[in-house]
A = this chain, B = another copy of it.
Amino acid sequence: MVRERDDIVALDSSIILHPAVWDASGHASGFSDPLVDCRFCKRRYRADQLDEAQCGQKPSKHPGETEQCDLTEPRQFNLMFSTRIGPLEETGQDAYLRPETAQGIFVNFKNVAQIARRKPPFGIAQIGKAFRNEITPGNFIFRTLEFEQMEMEYFVPPPAAEEWFRYWVDQRVAWHRRYGIRESHLRVREHEPEELSHYSSATSDIEYLFPIGWSELEGIAHRGDYDLTAHTNASGTKLEWVDGDERYTPEVVEPALGVNRSMLAFMVDAYDEEVVADRERTVLRLHPALAPVKVAVLPLIPRNEEMVGKARALYEELRRVLVAEYDDSGQIGRRYRRQDEIGTPYALTVDEQTLEDDTVTIRDRDSLAQERIGIAGARALVLDRLVADWTTPKTG
């Protein structure tokens, strides 16, 4: 999103923000869940998720379904974590941990546009922690108090907003496909009018078919000029685009992605078990750009000092530019399997022939093909292959 494009710049804004930002954005009043309490069993439930909850007395029933259930009317509870700046309760100032990274982008819109010398259409992207005081955390990594988010706000001239919204839905689906999610596991779901957030005139979710069912990975929202106008009104600073006689408030298209969920989706989709030469192997067919280790270096006979010396030297050279791993423990077959399981795309093996002619074998994780290459050109070759792999979409 940032490195491969000319029209998007990166930002790292702060986590703790002044309440005025959240008043302006609508989060102070609107970012809440409805809760009900049961006066009988003293349990608390999300009013909109009673169908998924178990009654505290009779787990086979939903709350409200037994005679004893005595539920209160729903009340709204804000999902932002609050804290106080300043050492004393009485003189401190309220502040909130960001529940999304987007508002840090909107309040910095003018600074970034000026400093990075950009004009619409252009985007500001950031990745970082966000925090939500979830009433019912859990469900594995799907609802956590603290999570990693990637968001990009794309500022466009208002007449082009609709077209850019469709562009970004397509682009983001292509992004998930490029990094390996197979087509049958991916779908786009348009929000119904009654589902839309207060700031959005259109939103599409990208959903993935997890083993537990379809779940959201990313939302692409048409936010219009809601945010820039809201912060302009609250701050008195005009967050608009001015160039000579041209003057307007840009509209915004926002792809917002949960990193933890997406990483899980990539792992689930890449996981494979197969039988090769009568033996089972587990392999994580991760796109090379996502693989945590890019290349492994293995001396065939770990007690052979010359082999180990050559392997270590090659490893030292590789790890200056790539995340590499060196492994000399156990049989070579088991070492290959270990790398297959964590998705390492390439393994270089130093063997007897290396000591004669300074060549090594390079083994491909997916095809299992092995070929001999010169040690001297190994780094350049591995880099070239990785770059070629990155460029070619891996689609299943």
Binding site for B on A (CB under 8 A): 3-4, 6, 14-16, 33, 35, 44, 77-78, 81-88, 91, 97, 129, 131, 133, 135, 145-146, 319-321, 323, 326, 380, 383, 387, 390-391
Q: CA A391 – CA B16 in complex, angstroms?
A: 38
Q: CA A4 – CA B3 in complex, angstroms?
A: 25
Distance between A18 CB and nearest chain B CB, rounded to angstroms:
11
Whether A83 pairs with B81 at a CB distance below 8 angstroms is yes
Q: CA A380 – CA B321 in complex, angstroms?
A: 12
Instruction: Using CB atoms, name the residue of chain B closest to A37.
Output: B88
A319-B3, A320-B387, A391-B320 given; A146·B16 CB < 8 A: yes
Whether A87 pairs with B135 at a CB distance below 8 angstroms is yes
- The interface residues of chain A, by DSSP majority, are classed as mixed
Q: CA A365 – CA B91 in complex, angstroms?
A: 52
Distance between A134 CB and nearest chain B CB, rounded to angstroms:
9
Tell me which residues across on chain B come within 8 A of A145, comparing CB atoms: 16, 85
Distance between A20 CB and nearest chain B CB, rounded to angstroms:
16
Given contacts A33-B87, A85-B145, 10 further A-B contacts (CB under 8 A): A3-B323, A15-B131, A16-B81, A16-B145, A44-B87, A83-B97, A84-B133, A320-B390, A321-B383, A380-B380
Distance between A289 CB and nearest chain B CB, rounded to angstroms:
10
Tell me which residues across on chain B come within 8 A of A14, comparing CB atoms: 146
Instruction: Using CB atoms, name the residue of chain B closest to A144.
Output: B14
Instruction: Using CB atoms, name the residue of chain B closest to A131.
Output: B16
Whether B85 pairs with A319 at a CB distance below 8 angstroms is no
Whether B391 pairs with A35 at a CB distance below 8 angstroms is no
Distance between A137 CB and nearest chain B CB, rounded to angstroms:
9
Whether A87 pairs with B319 at a CB distance below 8 angstroms is no
Whether B6 pairs with A326 at a CB distance below 8 angstroms is yes
Q: CA A129 – CA B16 in complex, angstroms?
A: 11
The 8 A-B pairs with the shortest beta carbon distances in the complex, nearest first, are A77-B87, A81-B83, A83-B83, A320-B387, A380-B380, A87-B135, A14-B146, A16-B146
Tell me which residues across on chain B come within 8 A of A33, comparing CB atoms: 87
10 CB < 8 A contacts A-B: A4-B319, A16-B81, A35-B87, A81-B83, A82-B83, A83-B97, A86-B133, A320-B387, A320-B390, A320-B391
